[in-house]
Amino acid sequence: MKISDIARIKVDWMERFGNDPHLEFILKRDGVLTPWEQFRFRQFGNLFVAEHEGEVRFVAHDRNDHNGFGGAVYNLHMADDWDSTQFRPCHRTEPRWNSGGGSMEARCQFDSTTRILTLTGPWSGGASGVSRLFRPVVSLSVLEGRHRNAIRDPKWYHRARKRGHAFDGTAYATACTLEFVQEALDVHAPHLELYEGDFGWYVKRKGDAPKNPRRRTGPVGGIGMLSDEQMSAVFA
């Protein structure tokens, strides 16, 4: 994704709620996010991070808990200069957390030929944790061009349009570097600026006070996410 791929920028101000404002990039019709396999990951403790043209991908590996993302398997293409001795392979059976219960086989290993690191059930630590351990990143949603007309119910869509509501498609949650987001705002939404809030970097109108200025030290863990305390233990 490049700055020139962005068609416009939207903000959900969450005006009726206490939530932080949510930033959304809508790409041009031929614009798409960078495929996962194009990222080259590096290791920071048990955090694996990759950055490409401003987009950031990251997962955290916990040798004692492989239930992140429901135990899904992730294949990370590691950078050529990554020292594989930093990583300890693991192979174990542990309980599943989903409603079906039972157990699962977790196998995490590195293939030196393909330079693919396979992780079972890694976790996402959230933008605030990655910002402290790697570099400042901003959580946002990106609507790819090829999905802008992905409307499941045409009748509902036309009724909504008549009522003045627009529906573009489905946005993907992602993260970008602070520098990339700032440049995108300068080009496409110069009336907006970023501020550091409770759980990371957020957007506000220039001249306005921040909605939720930074008061606490980090995020509360949610589905697929670790709290700051959990991250500190994992990355130790």
Nearby residues of 219 by Cβ (< 8 Å), 6 or more positions away: 126, 128, 129, 198, 199, 200, 225, 227, 228
Q: Are strands 172-177 and 73-77 parallel, antiparallel or unpaired?
A: unpaired
Predicted pLDDT of residue 52: 93
Q: Name the residue among 206, 139, 150 with its Cα closest to residue 177.
A: 139
Q: DSSP assignment, residue 78?
A: B
Distances (CA, A) of 220 to 21, 68, 145, 227: 17, 16, 32, 5
Closest Cα partner for 32 from 169, 179, 182, 189?
Answer: 169
Query: Which has the closest alpha carbon to 193: 23, 16, 33?
Result: 23
| Residue 130 to residue 172: CA distance in whole angstroms | 19
Q: What is the pLDDT of residue 219?
A: 44
pTM of this structure: 0.77
Every domain of the chain and the residues it spans:
1-61+123-236
Contact 32, 26 (CB under 8 A): no
Cα–Cα distances (Å) from 190 to 7, 28, 59, 184, 206, in that order, read 14, 19, 32, 9, 9
Contact indicator for 58, 44 with CB cutoff of 8 Å? no
pLDDT at 147: 66
d(CA 140, CA 172) in angstroms, rounded, equals 8
pLDDT (tens, 9 = 90+) of the chain, 236 residues, equals: 899 999 999 998 988 887 888 999 998 878 888 899 999 999 988 889 999 999 999 999 998 889 888 889 999 999 999 999 999 999 988 887 765 678 888 999 999 999 999 999 998 766 776 777 778 899 999 988 766 665 556 676 677 777 776 666 667 889 999 999 999 999 999 999 998 876 788 999 999 988 877 665 444 433 344 555 555 554 44
